């Protein structure tokens, strides 16, 4: 199944105790690159989240945004640090004595010193939180894969259309090649006849020259391989696994065959067809870059 590397998915779970929202969005990347942003309170789940996400994606730069709001009353309690307050008071009085200043310490001022009063959260039930967390995470991943699959279907249709056009161009090269050899034979015969006039040249010598020329420009191997690559690509587009890397490799091989056809060509029509083939392969390769 062809999947695009561009995708989006969002889900949230809201209860009387909490609100958890998960958002995923991705763009093209050669490998899987996960960037996860979530509250510090959930940072301990980073490893679990990464492992979980890898079940749904293999390639792409994926940005993951997770928000968590705790509605539970009494989850935090106020703590009074008596020892710290005593320390502040001791040194304030010492400063008063050292510098001959009035001792005007007030309770309200002392209470505002750092960490005299702190808010402490109750112990987090990580198992229960992870269980709650998995529901929106699963739903976001499902929507994410769904959007990638939908876009992947469009990419597949476009690639099949381009591959059909590429196959037509290769077929034209195959059809044209024997005509080039025959045109060369006629050209030689005309030149020889013009030079020798009434003198006859051995047919075997002309045939040998034509064979050498045909061997030099022969592109049978390249066109056969190109046709094979086209069929292989079509087959891969129907496979259930991630196909992007395989298709990219085949596109590179296609380009090599097209370059060889162009370098061997001694015919304007074949050269133009080879250039069109290269152009079409580049278009195919550009689309492949979007496939997971």
Give the global pTM.
0.70
> What band does 184 get if pLDDT is binned at 50, 70 and 90?
low
**Mean pLDDT computed over 249-266:** 89
Q: Options 1.10.10, 3.40.50, 3.30.230, 2.60.120; which CATH number does 7-72+126-148 get?
A: 3.30.230
pLDDT score, position 248: 94
CA-CA distance, 238 to 44, in Å (whole number)?
Answer: 39
pLDDT greater than 60 at residue 192: no
pLDDT score, position 175: 85
Q: Indicate the helix (H) or strand (E) that contains 199.
A: none
Which phi-psi region, left, alpha or beta, contains residue 252 (left: φ > 0; alpha: ψ -120 to 50)?
alpha
Fold adopted by 150-288 = Butyryl-CoA Dehydrogenase, subunit A; domain 3 (1.20.140)
pLDDT greater than 80 at residue 189: no
Domain boundaries, the chain: 7-72+126-148, 76-121, 150-288
pLDDT score, position 71: 80
CA–centroid distance for 227 within its chain: 27
Residue pair 173/225 in contact by the 8 Å Cβ criterion: no
pLDDT score, position 241: 80
> What band does 263 get if pLDDT is binned at 50, 70 and 90?
confident
pLDDT score, position 5: 94
> What band does 226 get if pLDDT is binned at 50, 70 and 90?
very high
Over the chain, what is the mean pLDDT?
85
Q: Whose CA is closest to 288, among 165, 168, 155? A: 155
**Mean pLDDT computed over 147-160:** 95
pLDDT greater than 70 at residue 27: yes
CA–centroid distance for 172 within its chain: 34
pLDDT score, position 176: 82
Higher per-residue confidence, 107 vs 195: 107
């Amino acid at each position: 199944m062809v999947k695009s590397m561009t995708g989006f998915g969002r889900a949230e779970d809201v209860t009387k105790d909490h609100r958890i929202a998960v958002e995923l969005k991705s763009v093209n990347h050669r490998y899987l690159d996960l960037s996860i942003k979530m509250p510090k309170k959930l940072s301990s789940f980073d490893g679990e989240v990464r492992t979980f996400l890898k079940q749904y994606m293999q390639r792409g730069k994926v940005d993951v945004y997770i928000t968590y709001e705790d509605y539970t009353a009494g989850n935090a309690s106020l703590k009074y640090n008596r020892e710290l307050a005593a320390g502040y008071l001791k040194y304030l009085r010492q400063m008063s004595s050292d510098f001959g200043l009035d001792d005007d310490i007030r309770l309200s001022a002392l209470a505002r010193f750092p960490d005299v009063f702190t808010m402490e959260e109750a112990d987090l039930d990580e198992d229960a939180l992870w269980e709650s967390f998995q529901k929106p995470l699963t739903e976001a991943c499902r929507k994410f894969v769904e959007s990638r699959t939908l876009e992947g279907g469009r990419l597949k249709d476009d690639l099949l259309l381009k591959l059909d056009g590429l196959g037509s161009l290769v077929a034209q090269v195959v059809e044209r090649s024997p005509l080039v050899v025959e045109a060369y034979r006629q050209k030689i015969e005309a030149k020889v006849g013009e030079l020798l006039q009434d003198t006859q040249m051995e047919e075997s010598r002309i045939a040998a020259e034509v064979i050498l020329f045909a061997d030099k420009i022969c592109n049978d191997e390249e066109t056969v391989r190109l046709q094979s690559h086209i069929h292989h690509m079509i087959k891969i587009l129907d496979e259930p696994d991630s196909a992007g890397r395989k298709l990219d490799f085949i596109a590179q091989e296609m380009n090599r065959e097209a370059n060889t056809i162009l370098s061997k060509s001694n015919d304007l029509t074949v050269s133009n067809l080879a250039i069109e083939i290269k152009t079409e392969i580049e278009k195919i390769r550009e689309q492949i870059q979007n496939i997971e």
